[in-house]
Amino acid sequence: MLKLVLLATVGAWIGFSNPLFHFPPAVLAFPLGLAWIGLRATSGPKAFRFGWLAGTLAATGCFYWMVIPVQIYGGLPWFVALPCPALLAAFIGLYFGLFSLSMHFAGKRIDGVPLCLLAGFSWTAMEMLMGTVLSGFPWLNLASAFAAWPAFVQGASVVGAYGLSGVFATLAVAVLLYSTYRSALALAVGLAALIAGFGFYRTATFDVGDQDYMVTIVQGNVDQGLKWNTTYQADTVKKYAQLSLEAVSKESPTLLVWPETAMPFYLQEDTGYRKALELLANDTGTAIIAGSPAYKVVDAKTRKYVLYNRAWLIDSSGHMTQSYDKEHLVPFGEYMPLEKWVPFKKLVQAVGNFRPGEDNRPLKLNGVALGMLICYEAIFPELAQQQVERGASVLVNISNDAWFGNTSAPGQHLDLAVMRAVEQGRWLVRSTNTGISAFVDPLGRLAGVTRQFEAGTLSMKIAAIQAKTVYHALRDWLNVFVYVMTAAAFGYLAFASRRKKGTVE
């Protein structure tokens, strides 16, 4: 059984993005190994236990980067930081333990193609729950491992990233069972052909739109350790302004996109720094999206206020006309869940505890609706869906991946953002402080990408697209369908098993 744990673990480590060796198809060993554990286990508890172990080890290897923001930038001691990835992984591992348990239960009652299909539904439901329960953390999205191979993720435009993960899980289990059931071999070959065939057809025929909207990404590469030091604020503003001026003189963009909290001060206040940005926009005739913390006074007498992680739009005349407040905050980083009962402060320190934004609308500029996603909001399908539903014709993801250093996290984060572009059929502009910044076309292809840890700009003409994908139209129905089918299948198996047991007795 430990060999199967190792198979699943190594498959995840190699399959998901990492700086050493990334081979997307290896990720199929992850669901294959977990299903094999369930089918080989002699009892339900054993299936769950070894499935949990495999999931925990896999997640720990993919989440190791958490130590850096907690210890280096959070200032917490190493003995607090080191367990963090393992603790989160141990929780995430529960989902994978349940998947192995479900395969153990189902494998005793069905086989062949039905078992493969049930594995796919179970995996999809599992990822959907992973993205919802306790704020959600759908970081290990199986489909995102294939983002580096765009032809193999086009199915997300029809069934979404979660649904495509289920298809890959079905394929993995079909490969596992192919030597025992000829129907499983046919299913594996058919699914592989469908994934590749549809992918290559769509990438060859899809219209990415009239690319007539010039956008420039500005990557400041500001040292995270110095960023919040007030003595460096002027240097930060100068750096972004200089990079922007150079890009404007060469490319004449309509829009400059600066990263999340690029301005580490309250841009809403009437200061010299704010005036500098307004002058830059007005003098160059170029709009700017810039991230900064923001606040709202809720009680003037007591001076009580709440904080927001905000993206501002400064139009080409130098006026701050629109903004977007981050809706899905990072627990233990941007706010403290159960703060009264947790015996420590935030794991990552910045300017304070944020409040989530509400009822955000796309930022509109020259007839183009810009759907904002701040930082790890890009890993949640429902937020991109919401922005497109409200009219977004382009997706804009601003982030600050400097927290993660030179680890797997920036690549994994980018892969997850790529899935939002495919799901919604939109160009995605991704601006980060230290990289990886990128232009992603509606097919998930990296049309332009920056190098990490280098200051610079990247300019490209993109297209505003109004058409909606099949996934966008069916998403809510698909979610209900997956949950109902999964619950109904296991409910029927449980009922049939009990009925058979009663008949025998």
Question: Which sequence positions are flagged as catalytic?
Answer: 260, 326, 375
CA distances to 142, 198, 200, 395, 502 from 203, in Å: 21, 9, 5, 19, 54
Dmax (CA) of the chain: 86
SS (H, E, C) 357-419: CCCCCCEEECCEEEEEEEHHHHHCHHHHHHHHHCCCCEEEEEECHHHHCCCCHHHHHHHHHHH
**SS3 call for 206:** coil
Residues 122 and 124: their CA atoms lie apart, in Å, by: 5
Verify cis geometry, omega within 30 degrees of 0, for the bond prior to 436: yes
The phi and psi torsions of 336 (rounded to 5 degrees) equal -110, 110
For 26-59, b where at least 16 C-beta lie within 10 A, e where not — what string? bbbbbbbbbbbbbbbbeeeebbbbbbbbbbbbbb
Neighbours of 251 (CB within 10 A): 18
Residues 6+ apart with CB under 8 A from 324: 310, 311, 357, 360, 361, 363, 372, 374
Burial (CB < 10 A; 0-12, 13-18, 19+), residue 193, is exposed
Cα 149 to its chain centre, rounded Å, is 17
The phi and psi torsions of 132 (rounded to 5 degrees) equal -125, -45
Burial (CB < 10 A; 0-12, 13-18, 19+), residue 268, is middle
